[in-house]
Structure 1
Amino acid sequence: MGNVLIVGASSGIGAALAGLAQPHCQIYSLSRSAAVPNVFKHFSCDVASDALPAIDEPLQGLVYCPGTINLKPFARIKPEEFIADFQLNLIGAVRCLQHYQRNLQAAEGASVVLFSTVAVQTGFPFHATVSASKGAIEGLTRALAAEWAPKIRVNAIAPSLTDTPLAESLLREDSKKQAAAARHPLKRLGKAEDIAQMAWFLLSENAAWITGQVMHVDGGMSAIKT
């Protein structure tokens, strides 16, 4: 498939995607971790603030995986917390996309995959910061899909609660896991592999006629009630 850059391949969905994609393409990785398995070349940096490394090769795909789960009552959220979520969820993605735009343009049929959340279109209490910053990602997805067509496809995935290290604080106890699973029509939590499979599909030629979409991989949470 060519070269794919995964931002945030050190754990969770990014790591699952790296393992899935590794036999089929050459993976570049960007994260704060010192090393990442299943990649061709890893760069250690903070995408929200550090200078981004140069990649000389065309990029067939770019996936931006970093995210936050900062759940608080709205009255207790400081403006600085909104800014921090926007820095990681939106500004980090913007910096990567601007920096590697030429690499994407140099490839044939390049694909970008970003991440939103089910909470953007299905309102949940205590989700103000993540919904605001990921809502911006959905707007960016559609704007860039229009601006970069037909050369580069841009899509996003909006998962529901997924059993990854990012959600560890919400799922430490079995009772919390069971309660969270029961809220989904499919009666289980998402796994990193569930989301990685959709990301790999959107990167692949099988999704060559899909752009500007937000794909809901959420156990039915956003669409149905049971």
Structure 2
Amino acid sequence: MTNNKPKAFLFDLNGTMINDMAFHNHAWHNILTKDLGASISFDAVKKQMYGKNQDLLERVFGIGHFSQEQIDQISIEKEHRYQAAYKKHLILIAGLDNFLEKAKQSGIQMAIGSAAIPFNINFVLDNLNIRSYFKAIVSAEDVVNSKPDPETFTKGAEILGVEASQCIVFEDAPKGVEAAQNAGMRCVVLTTMHTKEEFAAYNNIIAFIEDYTDPVLQELF
């Protein structure tokens, strides 16, 4: 896979550490169509689920359609609905618990680089008791420009004190892989929400995996 052994793993969260993207899709589709009156299909919502919540609302309705106060209210209501529906299903993607422990034992630093708000990141880290693995957490509130801009990942690497070329990003979305590519980082793709064909535009992918039990991951250590 790679001769350049990594010093850091940077993880996206939703769809990468937990398989929850369908729940986000349902929550967004419900809010956009039933609450806000948008005429948008479930699949079209799926394609818009990258970047910050504000970015998604502006892509669907246009910049300036909502006030910042309205955006914040819509965003937190969406997350409450998502969490209520998903909490009983909350579990790490298969094999990730062992993978995190092996990385820790191997001295590989770890960070989270997510477009989620802290409310959602804390929901996962605290309910699954995995916060101690991560030296850095970069959320939507920590960046000016969301994915596919590289800021989320470059900021995580900077906090860890690791060069981009020594980082491996774990992602599930094309725009996230693009962000890693823009940051000069190699990427492992989780095929939880998107097919391999949807990543054809990117040249930084070193592996596609369904979950963290894939033996190809042992080559990273």
TM-score of the two chains, using structure 2 as the length reference: 0.32
Give 1 or 2: higher helix fraction.
2
Give the TM-score of the pair, scaled to structure 1.
0.31
Higher relative contact order (CA 8 A, sep 6+): 2
Q: Which has the higher strand share?
A: 1
